[in-house]
Structure 1
Amino acid sequence: MTTLADWLARIYTIRSGPEIEMGLERIRPIYERMQVAPACPVILVAGTNGKGSVCAYIDAILRASGYRVGRYTSPHIHRFNERVVVNGAEASDQALVAAFDAVEAARGDVSLTFFEYTTLAAFHLFAATRLDAWVIEVGLGGRLDATNILDADCAVITSIGVDHTEFLGETRELIAIEKAGILRRGRHAVIAEPDPPVTLTHSMNGHGAHGHYIGRDFGWHRIAEAPQQWGFWIRDPAAGGDGVAHRHGLPIPALRGSYQLGNAAAALAALHCLRDRLPVAQGAVKQGLLEVEWPGRFQVLPGRPVTVLDVGHNAHAAIALERALADMAYFPVTYAVFAMLRDKDIAAVIDAVKRRIDEWHIAPLPGPRGADLPLLLAALAENGIPDRQIHRHTDVATAYAAARKLAAEADRIVVFGSFLTVAQVSGA
């Protein structure tokens, strides 16, 4: 009998190939044969960073409203099952095996990539379940991503930074065009990037989508007299008065970091766009904001010394991490446990966060994509980090153990650089 481990071993070999084949040509006829088109609203979320958090907010708020929700995200931290969640519960091994079997039966002699297999399997599982909404995170870019086989009722673009340049282009302007590929004519599009490239605006017009831009059409504000609350607003002619709808007195989200208010506002904007089909009461919004969970995104572990886990692996994410660290209380010493993949801009990540780090504990990541110690050391030297502040280790778990041994109770440890880095610490 085929197990989930058997299936993953098989499709992971595809993942390790030299190239990722992008496009919808292979997946479309299989998607149609499988008859897994959603019968409920679909929210598709793209962006360089923040898209997983936005998916988590939308999922939590809709479930607090009593809706049944399918959520598909990637990558996972510990278990593949984390990627496919139905009504708050990870898909079982048995359900995923059945879904992979269904993909295999439908694909014929067509070769699929790792992500195409997993995306079709998730869609099969969702279609077999009576759901009220699908919340789908784009894997890479947008235009050619397998998830874009869906016609989103509301598309969200969270941010546009420079990452995956080998597939998406070398500039924000080119990357914006790729992400805009998820837009659909006559459908809503929520743009949470505060500085959108002009190519995104042109793409919005070309696709004929109804654009809602943060800062212009929706936004958020802190409440001075109630620092533990915030407010959301969105332009809506049906709201009457000044044509703006509001949600007041919202609790600070359970996800840490001031940047999370922007992600939460994007989620609320998307839900407002779909309010006729998925109405959400104020109480459900508050409950969802308080109960949302998304591990590894500025996640503060209980106990002392304070340990922060963050999967940020590009300069855009590192800038957000630096700001969130700056907003925390004073710590005498901050230790970094740091490891990255070699195909990322390691020097730019270090540059973004170095002012918050006193001691660096570095380690290689396993596999051909993992950056080795010489590569990490070169990037640290490029940023002027003196060798006396650098501690070398054989693996991330050893680096974390060493940092914990050195750190006093009042100090702080920050584990970041990759999903793989966080996984080796949070799973310990």
Structure 2
Amino acid sequence: MQYAEAIDYLYSRLPVFHRIGAKAIKPGLGNTRLLCEALGNPQDQFTSIHVAGTNGKGSTSHMLAAIYQSAGYRVGLYTSPHLRSFTERIRINGQPIPEDAVARFVEQQQESIERIEPSFFEVTVAMAFDYFAREAVDIALVEVGLGGRLDSTNVITPVASIITNIGYDHTDILGDTLPQIAGEKAGIIKPGVPVLIGETHPETEGVFRAVAESVQAPIAFADQRYMIQDNGIVQGLRQVHVSQENESAYSVKLDLLGDYQLKNLPAALATIDVLQPQFPVSLVAFQSGLAAVTSLTGLKGRFQTLQDRPRVIADTAHNGPGLEALFQTIRSIVYSKLRIVIGLVADKDRGHILDVLPQTAIYYFCQANTPRSLPADALQAEAALVGRMGSVFADVNAALSSAIQDSSVDDLVLITGSNYTIAELTNL
């Protein structure tokens, strides 16, 4: 079986979330456990860190992967969704899984796949765990796909669990209150395993403390432990001062430039500190990793500048809280006019998203080539009802081309709204 055949097989035979949404989810961990049993339970053969949260879990996972790589460890990284190639989901030291390894896995596991009838995501999780075990990684960062309690990745027993933050997203699946959503995310907390919470919130703090106490898991709220001071961007890197009570202060530089990364940083700091006895990291390695996350891990689409004059930025923010954080960063930039290229999926809470979008921007509405996408003309009509005006385009590249053509050199063009929109950019 060739790689293209393997990918076609996975997409055609298995329910895929990014195409059909919640209907692709198969509740429970049973299928994943069966797939892993057929593989000899690879999830038990490597050390892992589990990362959940409404926003920031991908960036936090990549930060930690870069830090541990800089410290000399062999680091696995499992994230989703991918932007350009399926192989991006599964990496070791920043290098995607080889295409022939994907093809070989699908060919060898075809009987199990057809017998168990898992989802696309369940198969990719099993593939990642098998690859990490075979390649003997020292540690793997495993990002939750959705929620936590019933997410396919939740068959691991990590050495640390991270929950970055809680916000309103996937409320049709996870619940429509912050405590309900927190309860689902808290499902990754394991007996005796330290759990690091990135952002404290009065509605969810009690949920996390109660779950941690019930399984005797040490818990720390990272934003209460670390003081983060932003000193701006110098020579393309965000300068950050870090301090904590009774400890020496130090500085780090981030190549992930969004202001919102300052909220992700404490969880990464806390994780490194908690695991220091088992996985020592020097300050030099820590600083080197944070300054080169994108080059070390291949991360794209996080406040990524695609060109200057006019400046074009791509960001995968795709829900209300994520977009609020994005526009906080946008407000710190000097520009003449703001032009926003945007496409959304149809199953999001668009009311909140549209309210977050700045009314003074000029909009270029588009849609990604996936059945979950909201038609661009429908997005235009809904946006117009709340005073966000713009034109419709066939795809993101046509929209971007028009936005650049309309711009002066001092304008800012932002592309956002969906992973799938960003993924179709030609020059990403």
Q: Give me the TM-score of the superposition, normalised by structure 1.
A: 0.91
Alignment-derived partner of residue 364 in structure 2: 361
Counterpart amino acid of residue 71 in structure 2? S
The CA deviation at 1:209 is: 1.5
Identity %: 31
1:415 aligns with 2:406: no
- Counterpart selection for 1:65 from 57, 71, 86: 71
- Counterpart selection for 1:343 from 328, 341, 347: 347
Q: CA 1:331–1:130 in 2, change beyond 3 Å: closer, same or farther?
A: same
State the alpha-carbon separation in 1 of the partners of residues 136 and 149 from structure 2: 28
State the alpha-carbon separation in 2 of the partners of residues 172 and 23 from structure 1: 22
Q: CA 1:128–1:105 in 2, change beyond 3 Å: closer, same or farther?
A: farther
Counterpart amino acid of residue 252 in structure 2? L
What secondary structure is seen at the aligned counterpart in 1 of 2:335? coil
Alignment-derived partner of residue 283 in structure 2: 282
Which deviates more, 184-193 or 103-112? Answer: 103-112
Query: Does the CA contact (< 8 Å) of 1:177 and 1:200 recur in 2?
Result: yes
Alignment-derived partner of residue 402 in structure 1: 402
The CA deviation at 1:30 is: 2.7
State the alpha-carbon separation in 2 of the partners of residues 100 and 161 from structure 1: 36
1:79 aligns with 2:119: no
What secondary structure is seen at the aligned counterpart in 1 of 2:116? coil
State the alpha-carbon separation in 2 of the partners of residues 318 and 87 from structure 1: 30
What secondary structure is seen at the aligned counterpart in 2 of 1:118? helix
The CA deviation at 1:19 is: 4.0
What secondary structure is seen at the aligned counterpart in 2 of 1:313? coil
Alignment-derived partner of residue 237 in structure 1: none
State the alpha-carbon separation in 1 of the partners of residues 377 and 216 from structure 2: 49
1:180 aligns with 2:190: no
Alignment-derived partner of residue 32 in structure 1: 37
Alignment-derived partner of residue 238 in structure 1: none
Alignment-derived partner of residue 333 in structure 1: 337
Query: Does the CA contact (< 8 Å) of 1:222 and 1:229 recur in 2?
Result: yes
Q: Give me the TM-score of the superposition, normalised by structure 2.
A: 0.91
Alignment-derived partner of residue 105 in structure 2: 99
Q: CA 1:312–1:159 in 2, change beyond 3 Å: closer, same or farther?
A: same
Unmatched tracts of structure 2, length 5 or more: none
Query: Does the CA contact (< 8 Å) of 2:314 and 2:422 recur in 1?
Result: yes
The CA deviation at 1:219 is: 4.3
The CA deviation at 1:173 is: 1.1
1:249 aligns with 2:251: yes
State the alpha-carbon separation in 1 of the partners of residues 336 and 414 from structure 2: 14
The CA deviation at 1:29 is: 3.0
Counterpart amino acid of residue 336 in structure 2? P
- Counterpart selection for 1:384 from 384, 387, 394: 387
Counterpart amino acid of residue 411 in structure 1? D
State the alpha-carbon separation in 1 of the partners of residues 260 and 305 from structure 2: 15
The CA deviation at 1:369 is: 1.2
State the alpha-carbon separation in 2 of the partners of residues 377 and 348 from structure 1: 15
Q: CA 1:64–1:400 in 2, change beyond 3 Å: closer, same or farther?
A: same
Query: Does the CA contact (< 8 Å) of 1:346 and 1:376 recur in 2?
Result: no
Count residues in correspondence: 412
What secondary structure is seen at the aligned counterpart in 1 of 2:207? helix
State the alpha-carbon separation in 1 of the partners of residues 177 and 96 from structure 2: 36
What secondary structure is seen at the aligned counterpart in 1 of 2:115? coil
Counterpart amino acid of residue 308 in structure 1? I
The CA deviation at 1:185 is: 1.3
State the alpha-carbon separation in 1 of the partners of residues 348 and 419 from structure 2: 13
State the alpha-carbon separation in 2 of the partners of residues 139 and 181 from structure 1: 13
What secondary structure is seen at the aligned counterpart in 1 of 2:291? helix
Counterpart amino acid of residue 241 in structure 2? G
Unmatched tracts of structure 1, length 5 or more: 235-241
Cα-to-partner distance string for 1:11-69 (whole Å, 9 max, x where unaligned):
22321564421211122133133121344431110011100100110010101011000
The CA deviation at 1:352 is: 1.2
State the alpha-carbon separation in 1 of the partners of residues 249 and 5 from structure 2: 48
Cα-to-partner distance string for 1:257-298 (whole Å, 9 max, x where unaligned):
122122122112111111111100010011101111121111
The CA deviation at 1:390 is: 1.1
- Counterpart selection for 1:208 from 198, 203, 216: 216
Query: Does the CA contact (< 8 Å) of 1:43 and 1:155 recur in 2?
Result: yes
State the alpha-carbon separation in 2 of the partners of residues 171 and 353 from structure 1: 23
1:316 aligns with 2:315: no
Cα-to-partner distance string for 1:140-162 (whole Å, 9 max, x where unaligned):
10000010000111010111111
Cα-to-partner distance string for 1:403-424 (whole Å, 9 max, x where unaligned):
0110011111000011121122
